[in-house]
Structure 1
Amino acid sequence: MQTQAPQRFIVSSTDAARLARLRTEMLAKDPDAKVVHELPIIDAIAVEVQDAGALRRLSFASGAQVQPDREITVPDLPAEPPGGPLELETSTNALGLPELWKKGITGKGVGIAVIDSGIAAHPDLSTHVIAFKDIEHHVDTPHDEFGHGTHVSSIAAGSGKASSGRYTGCAPDADLIGVRVMDARGHGNVSDVIAGIQWTVDNKDAFHIRVMNMSIGQPIDNYAADDPVVKAVEAAAAKGIVPCISAGNDGPGPMTVSSPGNAPSAITVGA
């Protein structure tokens, strides 16, 4: 008999005792089951099971909600960019940032959590990264096998030293907190992202995190109020963290914003 591949789900319930009972029963019925993430920020756990049917039956009996732990990715580049390349020194000038820098508004004292593929060693970033968390591998040394998180971090807070100031980020004196939730292909699971948001909220005061950037997304196939990652974004916003999230690269038509860019509290950016 062929063994089924394990499947991941997000199981949630606002009744903590009910969720605890379901966990106990699940582990008793499926010896290969395991809890992947604790997600109290959305009253949930992420689990990996062999018998998805048994999990659904247990959840139905307990009144808990079960959702597939879907894939979430770094957006693909648009097939046809709408215009020519916009260099970083052009965009910072277009935003009027040099005038703000002259007034001392440089992001100093503000922590930006970049929830992405990590942050690689780079002269423009090395003195800015004050903390790093790899959600999957639990490695605390900054790294990035995909490169997207490093790119985003440079836009947010690159010092510009490597280019003599030409390619300076928006907030060059801000601190960076790397939260790696994407693999070397730029892919991850929703529960990994929520675990990254959970860690960010838990460490908000330790690293003065005031902003979290998430240039990642998935197609919207659920109401925002029922979307686990949107719930986590809203919970982080309620704790005083400003969520800046990409709209995705599938525009400019209707219904092309990706999740969690549809979170009500997010500053959702299209480019």
Structure 2
Amino acid sequence: MGNLLIGFLIDTITMNFLSNKSTSYNRCTPAREGILANKTNAMHVDGIYYYMEKILAYIHASAAYRQGIFGQGILVAVLDTGIYPHSDLQGRIRGFRDYIRQRQQPYDDNGHGTHISGIIGAGGKGAVHGVAPGCYLQGYKVLDKNGNGKILDICQAVEDIMKYNQNHAQKIRVINISVGMRERVRPELQQRLLRSVEQAWDQGIVVLAAAGNNGPGENTVTSPGVSKKIITVGSLDTINERKREPSLYSGRGPTESCVVKPEILMPGTDIISCGTRPGTYIRKSGTSMAVPVVSGMIALLLCKYPAMMPNEVKLQLYRSADHSGIDESFKCWGTVDLQRLLSVYQM
């Protein structure tokens, strides 16, 4: 049966989001389930724009935008369920590759990848303004309509990205992997995945992965987030600068190698982003949603400092991280805002 064992998949990856937190909204329908219709600054789209504005305010995105830094010229790869050409992503999608059905044109039969892409780089023409609205996105569909896929497809996608960079002047600088391995995966497959992402890192690509949603116990970070090299992101429930509360579901370290993971925590609960039908938006929660916030921030950082290498990016995150307001029992570097991230780097 190849890579299958009776009863479960041994080479399966899955999305790191909580499906029971997923809610769809049409652009012109009445607000409901937490949409802030009574907020005068919620613009005209049932409060959806207010939600991204809140995240952008939390990370001090204006510190980048005031300098004319929007991520322009930075190419971000999204390994996920695909990308639907939503109006908020118009002009942002630079390329697409499908490992599931081998289609040529961008599509997303699940919605997870489109949601992630909107958080990273939606241009703000509709309701969603991504963190890096000037960056470009390249979609690699490695998950099917149910959110499942094979580890070997992830590995192949990462290898294809490295080949792409060898043949193109505009290189992919960031890889967003908002997926993780399920339990009971063959060790050799896990090692293959870790080798792939670490090789990409060594070749100059910043790789980010989700911590997974298996918390709150220790050693619950999913692969490839356990890698010592790449950046792993966990989720915050609150975005209050005085009290930053990690999500109970967020995977925690230390890893089996005694590495502190995740390094960074970012908002990941009740995030609203692009849907897979015209004029629709969807709310999702999970560490999947926290990763693209950091991916977008790194796109802005690389826009300002294009010569930075992955290890320098990671050191910059460490230097600018703030652990205040986070319970001491949650071991991580902390959370990051763009005012600190863009200002403490020494050339």
Q: What is the TM-score when the length of structure 2 is the normalising length?
A: 0.54
Identity %: 33
Letter in 2 for 1:216: V
1:45 maps to none
Equivalent residue in structure 1 for 2:213, among 249, 261, 271: 249
Equivalent residue in structure 2 for 1:77, among 18, 21, 42: 18
| Residues 1:7 and 2:2 are matched in the alignment | yes
CA contact (8 A) 1:130 1:176 kept: yes
Matches within 5 A, 1:43-62: none
1:209 maps to 172
2:44 maps to none
2:159 maps to 198
**Residue 127 to residue 246, structure 1, CA distance change in 2 (3 Å):** same
Equivalent residue in structure 1 for 2:130, among 159, 164, 169: 169
1:48 maps to none
Counterparts of 2:153 and 2:189 in 1: how far apart (Å)? 19
What are the superposed Cα offsets for residues 12-56 of structure 1, whole Å, 9 maximum, x if unpaired? xxxxxxxxxxxxxxxxxxxxxxxxxxxxxxxxxxxxxxxx9xxxx
Shift of 1:102: 1.4
Structure 2: gaps of 5 or more residues: 22-33, 36-49, 236-347
**DSSP 3-state at the match of 1:256:** coil
**Residue 124 to residue 228, structure 1, CA distance change in 2 (3 Å):** same
**Residue 76 to residue 106, structure 1, CA distance change in 2 (3 Å):** closer
CA contact (8 A) 2:190 2:223 kept: no
1:269 maps to 233
RMSD, aligned CA: 2.6
**DSSP 3-state at the match of 1:159:** coil
**DSSP 3-state at the match of 1:203:** helix
Matches within 5 A, 1:116-195: 116-163=80-127, 167-195=128-156
Larger Rg: 1
Structure 1: gaps of 5 or more residues: 1-5, 10-51, 53-67
CA contact (8 A) 1:250 1:257 kept: yes
What are the superposed Cα offsets for residues 131-185 of structure 1, whole Å, 9 maximum, x if unpaired? 100023222210000000000000011111112xxx3111110010000000000
Shift of 1:110: 0.6
Counterparts of 1:220 and 1:231 in 2: how far apart (Å)? 19
CA contact (8 A) 1:224 1:230 kept: no
What are the superposed Cα offsets for residues 193-245 of structure 1, whole Å, 9 maximum, x if unpaired? 11111111111252420000000001466779962111110011011110011
**DSSP 3-state at the match of 1:229:** helix
**Residue 79 to residue 145, structure 1, CA distance change in 2 (3 Å):** closer
